[in-house]
């Protein structure tokens, strides 16, 4: 199975990097954050509670991976709700099952998220852990919002990022952490181009073996 596993905290640059890699190798790409977001949005849309594990797991089991759209799912409230239901083991089991069947697609796949190298695809061909300091990530998100014509407050964004990191790294089931055999890419002072070339050379080497 040719799977590239890319993990890391919010706004570290893993989305851009994953899309570049998928394009370069003509692999299918799944942003697994969207599976948690879509589950959360379905609950919010139907007025269902975010703290009932059985209800959330039922929605997760019926999720269609075909209709995931970041533009529709990017709202801040959806991200917050996603990280709340992501602590529930039976929600994770349902979504991980769907993610694993995606990972088996030919000719190869790129999955990005929080637990791809550790839980979803422990046998991935190459594992990358992409990170950056909370300040750099907050600044990137801030610039992105301004560039899109929006209004943002840097301190609020930084607080959100720190809180989301704590929730993702502190949960008992599948906490965010690098797999033992992951290559670490700290993008605090690295351009996306430099991160892409480093990733490409790890993948080229692994594909030759
Ligand atoms: O990456 P994104 O911000 O879209 O993810 C939303 C939330 O979904 C994360 O904060 C995290 O709690 C959860 N998530 C997860 N495991 C993944 C991907 C996302 O728990 N593989």
In this structure, which residue's CA is closest to atom 12 in ligand 1?
83
Q: Where is pLDDT greater, at 107 or 144? A: 107
Band of pLDDT at residue 208, cut at 50, 70 and 90: very high
**Contact residues of ligand 1, CB 6 A cut-off:** 10, 32-33, 36-37, 79, 82-83, 86, 113-115, 164, 168
pLDDT of residue 65: 87
Per-residue pLDDT of 75-111, as tens digits, reads 889 998 998 999 999 999 999 999 999 999 999 999 9
Taking residue 60's Cβ as centre, other Cβ atoms within 10 Å add up to 26
Residue 8's nearest CA partner among 209, 183, 198 is 183
Per-residue pLDDT of 152-171, as tens digits, reads 999 999 999 999 899 899 99
Structural domain contains residue 69: yes
Q: Which residues are annotated as a binding site?
A: 8-16
Per-residue pLDDT of 4-54, as tens digits, reads 999 999 899 999 999 999 999 999 999 999 999 999 999 999 999 999 999
Distance (Å, rounded) from C-alpha 37 to C-alpha 40?
Answer: 5
Domain's final residue, options 50, 80, 106: 106
**Ligand 1: which of 11, 33, 71 to mutate, most ligand atoms within 8 Å of CB?**
33
- Per-residue exposure over 157-167, b if at least 16 CB sit within 10 Å of its own CB, e if not: bbebbeebbeb
- Split into its structural domains, the chain has a count of 2
Structural domain contains residue 204: no
Asked if 155 and 193 sit in the same domain, the reply is yes
Domain's final residue, options 54, 87, 106: 106
Asked if 102 and 131 sit in the same domain, the reply is no
**pTM for the full predicted model:** 0.95
Domain assignment of residue 46, given as a range: 28-106
Asked if 136 and 164 sit in the same domain, the reply is yes
Helical packing angle, 154-170 and 76-85, nearest 10° = 20
């Amino acid at each position: 199975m040719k799977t590239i596993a890319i993990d890391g905290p919010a706004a570290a640059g893993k989305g851009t990097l994953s899309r570049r890699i998928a394009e370069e190798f003509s692999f299918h790409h799944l942003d697994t954050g969207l599976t948690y977001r879509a589950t959360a949005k379905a609950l919010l849309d139907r007025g269902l509670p975010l703290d009932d594990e059985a209800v959330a797991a039922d929605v997760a089991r019926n999720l269609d991976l075909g209709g995931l759209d970041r533009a529709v799912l990017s709202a801040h409230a959806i991200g917050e709700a996603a990280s709340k239901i992501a602590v529930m083991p039976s929600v994770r089991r349902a979504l991980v099952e769907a993610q694993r069947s995606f990972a088996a697609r030919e000719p190869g796949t790129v999955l990005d998220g929080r637990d791809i190298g550790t839980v979803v695809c422990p046998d991935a061909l190459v594992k990358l852990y992409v990170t950056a300091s909370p300040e750099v990530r907050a600044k990137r998100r801030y610039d992105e919002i301004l560039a899109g014509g929006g209004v943002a407050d840097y301190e609020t964004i930084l607080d959100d990022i720190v809180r989301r990191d704590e929730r993702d790294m502190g949960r008992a089931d599948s906490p965010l952490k690098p797999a033992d055999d992951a290559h670490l890419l700290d993008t605090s002072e690295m351009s996306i181009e430099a991160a892409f070339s480093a990733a490409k050379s790890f993948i080229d080497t692994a594909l030759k073996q």
